[in-house]
Amino acid sequence: MGGYIFLGLLVLLGLYTIAIYNGLVAKKNQIENGFAQIEVQLKRRYDLIPNLIEVAKKYMAHERETLEAVIAARNEASGALKKMKGQLDDPNAIAQFNQAEQGLVGAMGKMSFVMEAYPELKANENMMQLTEELTTTENRIAFARQAYNDFVLSFNTYRQSFPQNQVASMFGFTTDAKMLEFEDSKAMQAAPKVSFD
């Protein structure tokens, strides 16, 4: 009789361990999917920027340094995004990505400021359309980033809670996932000013 009780407890413990493991895997997959959504929007942004620069070049011939800085920041951010693929557990890759994104936002902000001196550029139909698309994309990035960070918080809370923390380490879930945070969080909570109305 005692053997059956012990065996029953072992089975229950095994099932509970499996449920915890499956929960960890599901939450980890949510994080990866969340980042994939960010990636889609970031690639869209990276594709829009060269078009924006091409239109701006026609009007801003004397602002070559500003335009080149935007392209360089875009290329750096795009490269950092590619490095992030499959490395969401690497805090260095996330830090480089965050820094590159911060640089791109800064370069875009400077370009927007410089463009204020070119009213004919602000009135250009192609520029207005591109800036509208870019603003929409920035909003989508912000929503996707928030969803990603929510998934990270959910995973970290689950992984750190007892008894999950005991099971997590047995199956290799030894570190918290990292949120996408930026040094200037206030600037990143708002979409960059790219509208020329």
| pLDDT tens for the chain, residues 1 to 197 | 778 888 888 888 889 999 999 999 999 999 999 999 999 999 999 999 998 888 888 888 778 888 899 999 999 999 999 988 778 888 888 888 989 999 999 999 898 888 888 888 877 888 888 889 998 999 999 999 999 999 999 999 999 999 888 888 888 888 888 888 755 444 444 445 554 44
Angle at 96 between CA 55 and CA 171, to 5 degrees: 130
Indicate the DSSP class of residue 182.
-
Is CATH 1.20.1440.20 correct for 2-189?
Answer: yes
pLDDT in tens, 144-160: 999 999 999 999 999 99
Q: How far lies 94's CA from each of 91, 109, 157, in Å?
A: 5, 22, 20
Q: How far apart are CA 126 and CA 47, in angstroms?
A: 15
8 Å CB contact between 159 and 173:
yes
Identify whether the C-beta of residue 37 lies closer than 8 Å to the C-beta of residue 154.
Answer: no
Please name the residues in contact with 130: beta carbons below 8 A apart, sequence gap of 6 or more.
48, 51, 52, 55
Cβ atoms of 149 and 37 within 8 Å: the answer is no
Could you state, in order of their start, the residue ranges of all structural domains in the chain? Answer: 2-189
Q: Which tens digit of pLDDT belongs to each residue from 13-41?
A: 889 999 999 999 999 999 999 999 999 99
pTM over 0.75: yes
